[in-house]
Chains A and B, each alone.
Chain A
Amino acid sequence: MKVNMHVDTAQADEHAELFVQAITPKLQAAADELTQVDQQWWGYRDKEIVPLTLSLLSVIRVEDSNVIGYLAGQPPVQIRQRLYQLEASLPTNFVRVSKGEIINIQQLDHLTIALNGLINVLMKDGQIAMVSRRYTGVLKGRLGL
């Protein structure tokens, strides 16, 4: 399919139009992805509401029953949604890796294995998450393996 992009920084109302013969599942997925592009996510920092830049969000972790989002180059924020809600609604580059952690695979640097057998995820911003065995398949799948 031919795709035209009209790039203009002065564009006020960003939108996309598709001229197609029929809506296929693939097109629907692409449209869903596009509508999510400008979906705004919010975090809380010292009672202040701050917009979240998803691409900077590295690890989302449950700490003392609070959901904390760690951002590259920014102080962490508290997120009001529960982890399972985030898992279901965030874009597919966010993957659940353990009972209490979701990571952004775009921020994933590499994996290490400790001698005690724990698989750790090292993020580009220095955050460390743990992959529990139950979620190893999910992570592998999202990375296209």
Chain B
Amino acid sequence: MKKILRNGVVGAMSGVTGGVLISLAFSAAFSSTYMPSTPRFMAHFSSSVSAMGASVLLWAMMGVLWGTSILIFRIDSWSMTRQTVVHFAICYVVYTLLAELAGWFPQTFVWLRYTILFIGIYVWIWLTQYLWAKAYVARINAKLGKR
């Protein structure tokens, strides 16, 4: 519980920092003034203060999501497949929702490509862990065989 809270706070702070830096970089590249997000997002707000406020809140929520959801991989009684699948399900749904609210997706967004990329990242995470565990088991069995 304490860990969830701590990861949530650190995640929120990291999220806001990351959001500021990324939006600053995008603003510098594509616009003459600072904008926390895309023009499509800005159009929803009457003032830049409220747009910035909403952006900070969304960045913080994204940070909380990543910071706390990573703890799923610490649940020892779960298999790594279960951890990966549950983490994927939560993050795909919540992150996609937050990113959409933050106006990060273009209007002509290719959902299929996005979803395949998302799944691809998780397959890679699972595969890396599985191959590591497989090598671990092989190494120990080789050692046991020699005894």
Interface set of A (CB-CB < 8 Å, partner B): 98-99, 108-119, 132-134, 136, 139-140, 143-145
Residues in B whose Cβ lies below 8 Å from that of A98: 76
Could you say which of B82, B137, B144 contacts A119, with CB atoms under 8 Å apart? B137
User: What are 12 A-B contacts defined by CB distance under 8 Å?
Assistant: A98-B76, A99-B76, A111-B144, A112-B137, A113-B133, A115-B81, A116-B80, A117-B80, A119-B133, A132-B77, A140-B139, A143-B144
Residues in B whose Cβ lies below 8 Å from that of A143: 140, 143-144
Check if B79 sits within 8 Å of A114, measured CB to CB.
yes
Most buried by B among A108, A113, A140: A113
Check if B81 sits within 8 Å of A113, measured CB to CB.
no
Q: Determine whether B129 belongs to the interface, using a CB cutoff of 8 Å to chain A.
A: yes
Q: Determine whether B45 belongs to the interface, using a CB cutoff of 8 Å to chain A.
A: no
Q: Determine whether B113 belongs to the interface, using a CB cutoff of 8 Å to chain A.
A: no
Given the known interface contacts A98-B76, A118-B80, A134-B76, the answer about A113 and B140 at a Cβ–Cβ threshold of 8 Å is no
Residues in B whose Cβ lies below 8 Å from that of A140: 136, 139-140
Determine the residue in chain A with the shortest Cβ distance to B81.
A116
Check if A111 sits within 8 Å of B129, measured CB to CB.
no
Determine the residue in chain B with the shortest Cβ distance to A135.
B76
Q: How many B residues, CB 8 Å from partner?
A: 18
How many angstroms between the C-alpha atoms of A133 and B80 in the bound complex? Answer: 10
Q: Determine whether B32 belongs to the interface, using a CB cutoff of 8 Å to chain A.
A: no
Check if A109 sits within 8 Å of B144, measured CB to CB.
yes
Determine the residue in chain A with the shortest Cβ distance to B145.
A110
Residues in A whose Cβ lies below 8 Å from that of B137: 111-113, 119
Give chain B nearest CB distance to A130 CB in angstroms: 9
Check if A113 sits within 8 Å of B141, measured CB to CB.
no
Could you say which of B76, B77, B82, B141 contacts A111, with CB atoms under 8 Å apart? B141
How many angstroms between the C-alpha atoms of A117 and B82 in the bound complex? Answer: 9
Determine the residue in chain B with the shortest Cβ distance to A121.
B140
Check if B76 sits within 8 Å of A113, measured CB to CB.
no
Q: Determine whether B104 belongs to the interface, using a CB cutoff of 8 Å to chain A.
A: no
Could you say which of B126, B134, B143 contacts A113, with CB atoms under 8 Å apart? B134
Check if A136 sits within 8 Å of B136, measured CB to CB.
yes
Residues in B whose Cβ lies below 8 Å from that of A136: 136
Check if A145 sits within 8 Å of B143, measured CB to CB.
yes
Residues in B whose Cβ lies below 8 Å from that of A114: 79
Residues in A whose Cβ lies below 8 Å from that of B144: 108-111, 143
Determine the residue in chain B with the shortest Cβ distance to A120.
B137
Check if B79 sits within 8 Å of A145, measured CB to CB.
no
Residues in B whose Cβ lies below 8 Å from that of A145: 139-140, 143
Q: Determine whether B130 belongs to the interface, using a CB cutoff of 8 Å to chain A.
A: yes
Check if B140 sits within 8 Å of A116, measured CB to CB.
no
